Amino acid sequence: MRAYERLIKYAKIHTASAENVDKTPTTERQFDLSRMLADEMRSLGLEDVFVDEHAYTYGFLPATPGCEDRPCIAFNAHLDTIPDFSGENVKPQVHENYDGGDVVLGESGRVLTVKDFPDLPKLRGKTLITTDGTTVLGADDKAGIAEIMTACERLIAEKRPHGRVAVCFSPDEEAGHGAALMDLERLGAAFGYTVDGGEADTVNCETFNASTALWEVHGFNIHPGSAKNTMVNASLVAMEINALLPAAERPEHTEGYEGFYHLTDMHGTVAEAMLSYIIRDHDAASFAAREQTMRQIEKFINEKYGDGTAKLSLIESYRNMAEKLAERPEAVARADAAIRKLGMEPRHEPIRGGTDGAQLSFRGLPCPNLGTGGHACHGPYEHIAAEDMDACVEVILHIIED
């Protein structure tokens, strides 16, 4: 079975995770896919297949004779789709011999256009898989699951020599804590790879350093008719806090290695207000400076309006995995060599976001990210080409066989 055929099957299983839910998995429906995958792994011939109480799904291929001394390599992809756009009743659309032009997405009224997605012409002649415009496709990250499963199937069917291979499909990546409960001792891998987004020639070795900044602003409410020199309007103070941050360092004005402050939520009254930001930067020193800017604003506001007016909480989310991958360069070198065997030159692109691989790397499993061939994730314009998925399968096979 080709990888894209598996993607179409998996995409129809509703697995959206949920935000602000203090359990794993955040949605029970993720078990529907994890149990399906466990059954499929057993039918393919993987061993020690296991679904734990948190929906982590494990399977293993023992080393073939003569390859027992090769390092064990792990592969991971996530079960869930994004919480904030529908992943239910997904109806994948297959466009064979795609002409490279605009694609009408079912009867949704949406159109996948070359104007908005200028890389589309590069997919001309391929088998393009899209949504019907009403849901996500779920290629993020069911394409990764499909590619890992297809690679395992071919290793077994084609009797390819290989060291021990460990597979884990995990929940809740989109909710921000997909790798937290992965059993690394069970995996027993020397290093691993997440397979989650990007083109087939891409290896992601860097992520942002990331934290969340939560502001509580306390005002003093009094009748406006007698408010002079007394009222402190918490909502206006919150607006002042935001105005003290550099306007050019917002996500909509940054790219590449440029970091940012991103206001994600705000609400308030005269008496109380709240601001929530995410802070991102690839460079550790610049990241620390961004957090210090927030602290300086807190100090300034409390000096201006009185102690306790503003309370800042900084919560670390993840760190740049580059520092950990530098300790195990073999992981990146294998991926680069695999891509070159397919006649492509590997591209090392920084992820302007996070990956389960970042947390895994800091937990002790060095874990760069491989591409799946997917495009325009997290929305109704998500699409992928079957041939690019085939190439990603080949990358996985070459990594294992190196």
Give the catalytic positions in this structure. 80, 173
For residue 337, what is the enclosing H or E element?
helix 329-341
Distance CA 300, CA 241 (A): 9
Provide the 3-class DSSP secondary structure of residue 6: helix
How far out from the chain centre does Cα 294 lie? 26
Which residues fall within 8 angstroms of residue 11, CB to CB, at 6 or more apart?
Answer: 90, 92, 137, 138, 139, 142
* Nearest alpha-carbon partner for 136 in 184, 72, 93: 93
Residue 161: which region, alpha, beta or left (left: phi > 0; alpha: psi -120 to 50)?
Answer: beta
The percent of the chain in helix, strand and coil, each rounded to the nearest 5, is 35, 25, 45
Terminal-residue alpha carbon distance, the chain:
24
* Nearest alpha-carbon partner for 192 in 66, 325, 59, 79: 325
At residue 14, φ and ψ (nearest 5 deg) are: -75, 115
CA angle (127, 385, 125) in 5-degree steps: 45
Residue 223: which region, alpha, beta or left (left: phi > 0; alpha: psi -120 to 50)?
Answer: beta
Give the pairing type, strands 73-78 and 191-195: parallel
What the block records as the tokens of 76 is 């991971």
Distance CA 261, CA 233 (A): 24
For residue 195, what is the enclosing H or E element?
strand 191-195
